Amino acid sequence: MKVLILNNDFRVYWKGRLIYLQSFLSSQNISFYAVELFGNGSPYSFDTYDNNESWWTCLFPENSSDELSKQDIEKAIFTQLDKINPDIIIASSIVFYAGALGIRWAKKHKKKFVMFDDARHLQFKRQFLIQWVKDLITKQSDGFWFPSKNYYADYAYFHHKGIHFFYGFNCIDNKLFKFEGKKQSHHKIIICVARLVPIKNIDNLLRSWQLIEKNNTDYKLVIIGDGPEHDHLNQLRSDLNLNTVEFIGAIDNEVIPEYYFNAGAFILPSLSESWGLVVNEAMAAGLPVLLSYEVNAAKDLLKEGVNGFGFAPLDVNGMAEAISKYIRSDIQTKESMSNNSLEIINSMSYENMGSQLFDALISIKQQKNKLPGLLASLVINLWYGRYNKSGWDKL
């Protein structure tokens, strides 16, 4: 069997997953290929394309999508797919070029198509016609690959349409963040790792921390990351007279585990997160987590009072209370929350991802081919998707 995964770009977290999957699937006699479209234009463009693997190709390593015509993108994708001729294509949502053109090629050549997505179906409000077109195309998929079973209910429209649901791709290499020896819970540092952009809600985190400082807890807030909000947030820190907040800036990924190790807990106050893989990192490092309810990872990984506390992101007092609950916890409770984070995150590992994907591929390969009707075929052949990430950092 030949399996190809297609995405607009594979930045940051996808790299480790792909390398693991290529090795694992090869051991199961499955040929695995990765094709990304653009080398530039990603919100995570700081993580450059530098892969030399024979099974991994970037079609436009020097370009972003807005420098190319739809026809050029289509031609390059179809040429590569014709060359590899995969049995199953795994691609991002059909709102993007990769998904839209991936399903077009798959249906034309009577191959199977699997869509992966970590955005919840109900998070986006679209005009009726656009939503109808998207649903019409999406239901021609043979499989859906989601982060967890919690996503199943959000996609009720697609139940009983012959689509195989499976889970587990939003994982990291947990071993990279594990500490040697016993994790200490006495560190009086709460750490936040986030891009400094509006959707991360760091301004309300600072306002909440002002309430924490008033209680003289001796705790410190450390924020790792950079972005366009840097100057504004530093000014807000001054305006609020905060003395126990430190902005570290952007740091190399290899150094982040050390910061996790020296922290007591992790906080992510985002207004919205399609998942939030920094939560996985923090938990793999044994940290209790303080999470906005709008972080999708919280729905699976946060167990209230067991490994952390949740809060509404716009409720400054509620956020401060969640932080205070952790701070007021005794050392035994903090140690228990640390151990619980480690236990919970073990369910989201490369190994579980690989086994779930393998089982799904075998099932999907054996399914009868889904042939779209005339209307669906027409729409699929007219739909290109896009790569508009201009508003990714705002709600």
- Does residue 394 lie in a domain region? no
- Does residue 53 lie in a domain region? yes
One domain, residues 212 and 331: yes
DSSP labels for 182-210? PPPS---EEEEE--SSGGG-HHHHHHHHH
- Does residue 389 lie in a domain region? no
How big, in percent rounded to 5, are the helix, strand and coil portions of the chain?
Answer: 45, 15, 40
One domain, residues 292 and 191: yes
- Does residue 272 lie in a domain region? yes
Q: How many domains does the chain have?
A: 2
DSSP labels for 284-335? HTT--EEEETTBTTHHHH--BTTTEEEE-TT-HHHHHHHHHHHHHS-HHHHH
Residue 328, pLDDT score: 96
One domain, residues 116 and 13: yes
One domain, residues 29 and 119: yes
One domain, residues 332 and 353: no
Going by C-beta distance under 8 Å and a sequence separation of 6 or more, which residues neighbour residue 223? 191, 192, 193, 194, 196, 202, 205, 233, 245, 246, 247, 248
One domain, residues 11 and 114: yes
One domain, residues 194 and 317: yes
- Does residue 388 lie in a domain region? no
* Torsion, Cα of 47, 52, 57, 62 (10° steps): 50
One domain, residues 19 and 136: yes
The CATH number of whichever domain residue 247 belongs to comes to 3.40.50.2000
In 3-state terms, what secondary structure has residue 168?
A: coil
One domain, residues 316 and 196: yes
One domain, residues 178 and 167: no
Going by C-beta distance under 8 Å and a sequence separation of 6 or more, which residues neighbour residue 372? 107, 140, 380
Contact 59, 35 (CB under 8 A): yes
One domain, residues 368 and 337: no
- Does residue 164 lie in a domain region? yes
Residues in the chain predicted with pLDDT less than 70, given as ranges, are 44-50, 121-125, 180-185, 387-395
| CA dist., res. 326 & res. 190, Å (int) | 10
| Domain extent at residue 231 | 174-345
Put simply, whether the predicted model's pTM sits higher than 0.95 gets the answer no
Read off the pLDDT of residues 139-167 as tens digits, 9 standing for 90 and up.
999 999 999 999 999 899 999 999 999 99
Going by C-beta distance under 8 Å and a sequence separation of 6 or more, which residues neighbour residue 28? 358
Residue 178, pLDDT score: 86
- Does residue 121 lie in a domain region? yes
- Does residue 85 lie in a domain region? yes
One domain, residues 265 and 282: yes
| CA dist., res. 374 & res. 260, Å (int) | 54
